[in-house]
């Protein structure tokens, strides 16, 4: 998402006073966040921010900030980002619900507005998932498979609307089954600067100026996390079988399977540090998914997969992906943290249909707590990949 810069404000609070705030919190072990610091700058005499106590229903923990970032896929970008989290009951085992949205414009003339939400009904009886996007998004493409090189790069441009909606009902504690509807609508698709005298992989696969994928999903979810924004020890597994049909408006019939699984443990045992594992696997089971619907680097919901490489760097009809990240606190007040990560992605090749390459990425990053009640962090990472690929990767909330 973005790295955040504090706006200027007139205040009589000094740098020494800010240092004292942080120092006092360290001595007392109190938890503070960026909003505490901003409040002290803007309203130095305001009482400390406190949570809603035992009653949590109706309490919205909302953060709205201007942001700036530089990433491989966007160049410099400006955005306004908003995140809100809330509970639908006072039960101690209630999952936190959340919404995330932003308005983004980038140096590469990309404009996009995501709306992403996970709503838990009272008692975790049901989960409602929302993933809506609008994008005007010129980006690089490199062809299919894991053997493409930077020399294969050229730009594709398109307008895009994504409407994903799912409803899942509990069948036993933390286990859910449900259905959904997925629509991907691309138009004004253009190959802006394809190599001359060469038939691109997009053209070979089946280029068209419009692409529609419309289908019903069958959803399976197992989730023991209570806070998906900043997960603590627990498990997550999401399996989605998507069935696209021409009678629903899809260009053709095709079927895909998504497996998204994660595990979180405290390591060392008894500490607050977290060792996290993630696998994200996508398979085109039957038919032929459109080129822009194929699995690709950073093609997950929050565009986080494959740090170390630009979005869309690799693409294929099938994907196997794995990542591990170690998250640690670096201040007693838990405002600052750090991570190290290692990942690998592999795609089937267009001719052999086999997995023939493993494409690693690795890096490290810092975390700054934006909201101590929803446990929302600003994440800023630097990642490296093969053949000199490297760059900054930013997010609101943990990457997975």
Q: Which domain holds residue 301?
A: 3-396
Q: Structurally, how many domains does the chain consist of? A: 1
* Residue 364 CB neighbour total at 10 angstroms: 14
44-62 residue pLDDT tens:
888 877 764 444 676 788 8
What lies within 8 Å, CB to CB, of 397 at 6+ separation is 83, 100, 229, 230, 376, 377, 379
Cα gap 297→140, rounded to integer Å: 11
Most confidently predicted of 227-241, 251-265, 301-315: 251-265
**pLDDT at residue 4 in the model:** 31
Q: In this predicted structure, what is the pLDDT of residue 27?
A: 37
Judge whether residue 364 has pLDDT over 90. Answer: yes
- How far apart, in whole angstroms, are the C-alpha atoms of residue 65 and residue 81? 6
pLDDT band at 2 (very low <50, low <70, confident <90, very high): very low
Q: Quick one: pLDDT at residue 185? A: 98
CB–CB of 346/358 below 8 Å?
Answer: yes
What are the pLDDT digits (tens) for 277-310? 999 999 999 999 999 999 999 999 988 999 999 9
pLDDT at 51: 61
Mean pLDDT across 346-372: 95
Kindly report the average pLDDT of the chain as a whole number.
88
| Average pLDDT, integer, range 332-346 | 95
Q: Which CATH number covers residue 166?
A: 2.40.160.50
pLDDT tens profile 181-228: 999 999 999 999 999 989 999 999 999 999 999 999 999 999 999 999
Confidence tier at 156 by pLDDT (50, 70, 90): very high
Tell me, what's the pLDDT at 385? 96
For residue range 196-207, list pLDDT tens digits in order. Answer: 989 999 999 999
In Å, how far are 144, 181, 252 from 243, measured between CA atoms?
A: 23, 9, 11
What was the pLDDT predicted at 337? 95
Q: Which residue is it, tokens 């289908």?
A: 215
Q: Taking the complete model, does pTM exceed 0.85, yes or no?
A: yes
Residue written as tokens 């490290």? 364
């Amino acid at each position: 998402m973005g790295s955040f810069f504090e706006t200027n404000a007139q205040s009589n609070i000094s740098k020494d006073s800010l240092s004292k705030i942080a120092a006092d919190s360290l001595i007392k072990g109190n938890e503070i966040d960026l909003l505490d610091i901003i409040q002290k700058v803007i309203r130095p005499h305001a009482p400390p921010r406190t949570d809603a106590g035992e009653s949590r229903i109706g309490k919205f923990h909302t953060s709205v900030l201007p942001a700036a970032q530089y990433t491989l896929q966007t160049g410099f970008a400006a955005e306004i980002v908003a995140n809100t989290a809330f509970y639908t009951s006072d039960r101690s085992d209630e999952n936190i619900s959340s919404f995330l949205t932003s308005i983004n414009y980038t140096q590469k003339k990309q404009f996009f507005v995501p709306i992403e939400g996970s709503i838990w009904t009272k008692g975790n009886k049901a989960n409602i998932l929302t993933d809506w996007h609008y994008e005007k998004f010129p980006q690089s493409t490199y062809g299919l498979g894991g053997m493409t090189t930077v020399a294969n790069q050229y730009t594709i441009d398109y307008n895009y609307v994504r409407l994903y909606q799912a409803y899942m009902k509990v069948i036993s504690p933390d286990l859910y089954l449900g259905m959904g509807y997925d629509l991907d609508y691309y138009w004004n698709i253009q190959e802006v600067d394809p190599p001359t005298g060469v038939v691109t992989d997009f053209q070979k696969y089946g280029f068209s100026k419009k692409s529609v994928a419309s289908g019903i999903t069958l959803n399976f979810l197992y989730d023991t996390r209570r806070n998906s924004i900043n997960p603590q020890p627990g498990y997550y597994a999401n399996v989605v079988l998507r069935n696209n049909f021409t009678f629903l408006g899809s260009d053709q019939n095709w079927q895909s399977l998504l497996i998204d699984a994660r595990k979180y443990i405290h390591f060392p045992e008894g500490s607050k540090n977290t060792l996290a594992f993630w696998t994200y696997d996508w398979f085109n089971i039957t038919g032929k998914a459109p080129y822009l619907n194929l699995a690709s680097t950073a093609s997950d919901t929050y565009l986080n997969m494959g740090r170390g490489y630009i979005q869309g760097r690799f693409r294929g009809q099938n994907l196997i992906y794995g990542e591990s990240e170690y998250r640690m606190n670096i201040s007693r007040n838990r405002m600052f943290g750090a991570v190290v990560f290692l990942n690998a992605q592999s795609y089937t090749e267009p001719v052999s249909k086999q997995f023939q390459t493993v494409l690693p990425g690795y890096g490290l990053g810092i975390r700054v707590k934006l909201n101590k009640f929803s446990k929302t962090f600003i994440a800023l990472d630097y990642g490296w990949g093969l053949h000199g690929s490297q760059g900054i990767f930013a997010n609101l909330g943990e990457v997975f």
